Chains A and B, each alone.
Chain A
Amino acid sequence: MRKKTQVADVNRSLYDIKDKFEYSFKTDGLNEDVIREISAQKNEPDWMLEFRLKSLGIYHKLDVPPWGPDISGLDIDNIITYVKPKTDLNVTWDDVPEDIKNTFVRLGIPQAEHKYLAGVGAQYDSEVVYHSVQENFRKQGVIYLDMDTAVKEYEDLVRKHFMKCVPPSDHKFAALHGAVWSGGSFVYVPAGIKVEIPLQSYFRSNAPGAGQFEHTLIIVEEGASLHFIEGCSAPKYSVNNLHAGCVELYVKEGAFLRYSTIENWSKNMYNLNTKRAIVEKNGTIEWISGSFGSKVSMLYPMSILKGEGARSDYTGITFAGEDQVLDTGTKVVHAAPYTTSNINAKSISKSGGVSVYRGVVRVLPNAHHVKSSISCESLMLDSDSRSDTIPVLDINNDEVDIGHEAKIGRISDEVIFYLMSRGISEEEARAMIVRGFAEPIAKELPLEYAVEMNNLIRLELEGTIG
């Protein structure tokens, strides 16, 4: 009888720490009054209130997509859409309230900052509570603010870009986001500036039933470069949680942006996040995406290659365990000639988990000399799990070079046998193969995220040996 690889569930107790729940303001349900209240609380400009109200109208008109995972467990009207923690913006770490700080300490954020990080935009519940930017960046003219402040301090810049990349009409949850968004990061890198150290935003949601609607807006001007790291981790609660964030990235001519994410939500989270980049001439967007947590994820970072010579690279890994449906992938629109995209997606399914790669590469009629290479690989660790690959190639020009490959399978007995013949134990051989499978992703991740991924694989090792 052949042995099956046994993989233990990821121990996420570290991330399931919850502090005593306190809030100074919250609302249930979703109507015009709620939106007005949110906006008034934030003391926003009028145009933003109007934008929210317009989005609310769109939200009520749009339907839930008929495709993709089942999200009927979600009842948006009973979700606390907005929770404001009992602290205002903090400039220094010392000012952060103790219980909130404890959560971050346990997540290792301050240490990481000393070693490695340029700034921390950490979101506690729906509001940014802690924030710091290294002095030299300020001198370079790099702006790194929480989104709420940016709306007031850089009103014109925000107004020009806010939800222009992802319009509220895009889908129901984008409209919801437009109506109730709160918190998030704003980054502006002036022309020619190379930000050498990655900027990191580590946020987590903490209120039972709280929705997280953070908005990330990044503008990388001509010839500038930035690496932005987003990480998510949320404590576990019995109420279903919704995360409908929005990430808008503007990569200008010749600019470079790498956007790395580890989505590590607790296993009751509906993660319906929308991420999109518009890339101008000779600009590059790189997406590094790891999806591990959540109950249901629908996450498809999209690149619109708008200028000649623009480029998009997507490297993603999805690990679906028990009771998880992780529907992830990427969308690329080649809207200009000589644009390039590379997609490298991997998934692992175990213990009844469902992982789905869903993506599209669309080449518009005017986009000649397009190159695209797509590779999807899935590993099934048992037959209780599922793994689906749903790619689309939509080609509207003949001057293209498009290649697509997808593979699905288990760990091959022949390979195990070969390694064993070399004196490696079966358990170690299996572990080596799984590590090798995830390696191309792990090596693209920044240190502490790679540690998190290694942690997953280590747990897998333990499960195999045990």
Chain B
Amino acid sequence: MSVVINQPVNTLPVLTYRWLKLNELKLSEPIGIPIKPYSKQFVANLDAVKQMIEIDTGPPAAEIQVLGAGVSSQLTRLSQTSANTGIQIIVPPNTVVEQPLEIAYRLDADDCSVIDNNLIIAEADSQITLIFDYSSAPDAAVVHNGLTQIVAKSGSVVNIVKIQRMQDQAVHFDAVMAEIEPHARVNLIQAELGGKLAVTNYVTNLHQAADTKINSLYFGDQDRVIDVSYLMNHIGRHSTSQLTARGVLKDRARKAFKGTLDFKKGASRAEGSEHEYVLLLDPTVKSDSVPLLLCGEEDVKGEHAASCGKFDPDQLFYLMSRGFDKIQATKLIVEAVFSPVIGEIPNDKLQTVISEVIQRRLAGE
């Protein structure tokens, strides 16, 4: 059995000119997602953490209200109704789980689809870190569609790391939704490195003094299409958000960045910032950015900044004068761009894996 995905994805919260074709991403062709069980073990260190938290592998039995459409309402619904994997976690009050929980999916010819549905509830003043790592076997046409819902209760901290390093034939859809209650924090670290099509969507509701930090990197080369969307709904007073996205585009890669700060009426003293840095390596790339700032409250501070261009020729010249060839120099500069994000990943092995993927691709291997 399989379902066919045909609806447009990542629709902007507020529409703009149609001729830009950026209000939503239309799929170039319908995508079939086979629905069958996922066969592999996917929680790497279950034993280490299961004493401390309530954890169930498999999609959650009960549905909680979604905060938005996600990547598309069709895909969100798919994860809710037909997930073939997922986890359910409740972190008890005041429990601090030091060791990150590692969830790794490897897609291949046998496990050609992962439809995961995850629910993470962090009770008051608890703390947890989860790492999701999606990879695939070479030449396997695979699809991942994920939905991760987070409820961060008062004073809790939830760190989510999402790494997508699938191969060139893979398709990746991923939605993360976080309800962040007073004084709670949700941090997202995201690395989009692979797949022929990668579409991600992050939406948060920030209540009083809630905070979210997003550190995101994307690397697009060859014919990859990347569409990343972030929506911060500032609902509560003193809520804060910081989004930093760093990207490198090469070859014929196409990227759309959609970041929205939405200050709702009543969110006084809220502060939000959004920064995007894009490094362009080839004239054939396409880089679209739509940083929206929506505001219905007077007493807020919101800012966004985006910069986009080639790297500084002086930098390159300096490095080359020191004996590096152009590829080596490029590698160094790209590493410098990404290191603030990669350095945040709480797993040395994954840090190395990501660096290697990027270095290899830059060398055109």
Binding site for B on A (CB under 8 A): 4, 65-68, 331, 358, 360, 362, 365, 368, 376, 378, 380-383, 385-410
Contact = CB atoms under 8 A, between A and B. Distances in A.
Interface string B286-318: 111111111111111111111111100000000
B268 A383 contact: yes
B347 interface: no
11 contacts: A66-B18, A67-B16, A365-B284, A382-B298, A383-B265, A383-B298, A386-B294, A393-B287, A395-B289, A395-B308, A406-B291
Contact of A406 (B265, B283, B303): B303
B87 interface: no
A33 to B, nearest CB: 32
Nearest to B23: A67
A401, A403, A404: residue with the most chain B Cβ atoms closer than 10 Å: A404
A380 B295 contact: yes
A402 to B, nearest CB: 4
A390, A398, A404, A406: residue with the most chain B Cβ atoms closer than 10 Å: A398
Interface in B252-300: 263, 265-266, 268, 278, 280-300
Nearest to B14: A390
Nearest to A405: B305
Contacts of A388: 14, 292-295
Interface in B6-53: 14-18, 20, 22-23
Given A385-B298, A388-B294, 17 more contacts: A360-B20, A376-B293, A380-B300, A383-B268, A387-B293, A395-B280, A395-B286, A396-B286, A398-B249, A404-B306, A406-B302, A407-B301, A407-B302, A408-B303, A409-B301, A409-B302, A410-B298
Interface in B213-269: 249, 263, 265-266, 268
Contacts of A380: 295, 297-298, 300
Query: Which A-B residue pairs are the 9 nearest by beta carbons?
Result: A398-B280, A67-B15, A389-B293, A380-B298, A408-B302, A393-B289, A404-B306, A395-B287, A402-B308
A378 B281 contact: no
B337 to A, nearest CB: 14
A406 B276 CA distance: 12
B223 to A, nearest CB: 15
B17 A408 contact: no
Contact of A378 (B265, B290, B292, B295): B295
A398 B298 contact: no
Given A390-B292, A402-B308, A403-B307, A408 B286 contact: no
Contacts of B20: 360, 362, 392, 394
B289 to A, nearest CB: 4
Given A378-B295, A386-B296, A398 B289 contact: no
A394 B288 contact: yes
Given A383-B265, A392-B22, A66 B15 contact: yes
Nearest to A373: B307
A66 B249 CA distance: 32
A400 B265 contact: no
A387 B295 contact: yes
A388 B16 CA distance: 12
B301 A390 contact: no
A399 B285 CA distance: 11
Contact of B295 (A360, A392, A396, A408): A408
Given A382-B298, A392-B289, A404-B306, A360 B17 contact: yes
Interface residues of B, number: 45
A331 B307 CA distance: 18
Nearest to B281: A398
Contacts of B263: 408
Contacts of A383: 265-266, 268, 296-299
Contacts of A66: 15, 18
Nearest to B294: A388
Contacts of A407: 301-303
Given A398-B280, A398-B282, A403-B307, A391 B298 contact: no
Nearest to A356: B14
A383 to B, nearest CB: 4
B14 to A, nearest CB: 6
A408 to B, nearest CB: 4
A408 B293 CA distance: 8
A410 B283 contact: no
Contacts of A393: 287-290, 306, 308
A396 B256 CA distance: 12
Contacts of A385: 296, 298
Contacts of B15: 66-68
A71 to B, nearest CB: 14
B349 to A, nearest CB: 33
B299 A410 contact: yes
Contact of A365 (B283, B294, B302): B283
A335 to B, nearest CB: 14
Contact of B304 (A382, A401, A406): A406
A360 B306 CA distance: 13
B283 A391 contact: no
A389 B268 CA distance: 19
Contacts of A392: 16-17, 20, 22, 288-290
B16 A390 contact: yes
B285 to A, nearest CB: 6
Interface string B162-178: 00000000000000000
A420 to B, nearest CB: 19
A325 B219 CA distance: 39
Contacts of B309: 398, 400-402
Contact of B291 (A4, A358, A394, A404): A404
A358 B22 CA distance: 14
Contacts of B283: 365, 368, 397-399
A179 B295 CA distance: 38
Given A383-B296, A390-B14, A398-B285, A408 B301 contact: yes
B329 to A, nearest CB: 16
Contacts of B305: 403-406
A404 B298 contact: no
Given A388-B295, A395-B280, A398-B282, A404 B310 contact: no
A139 B222 CA distance: 61
Contacts of B291: 389, 391, 404, 406
Contacts of A391: 290-292
Contacts of A400: 280, 308-310
B303 A405 contact: yes
A404 B308 CA distance: 9
Nearest to A412: B301
Contacts of B284: 365
Contacts of A396: 285-287
A199 to B, nearest CB: 31
Contacts of B294: 386, 388-389
Contacts of A4: 298
A398 B223 CA distance: 16
A382 B268 CA distance: 11
B250 to A, nearest CB: 9
Contacts of A389: 291-294, 304
B15, B280, B282, B309: residue with the most chain A Cβ atoms closer than 10 Å: B309
Contacts of B281: 398
Contacts of A390: 14, 16, 290, 292
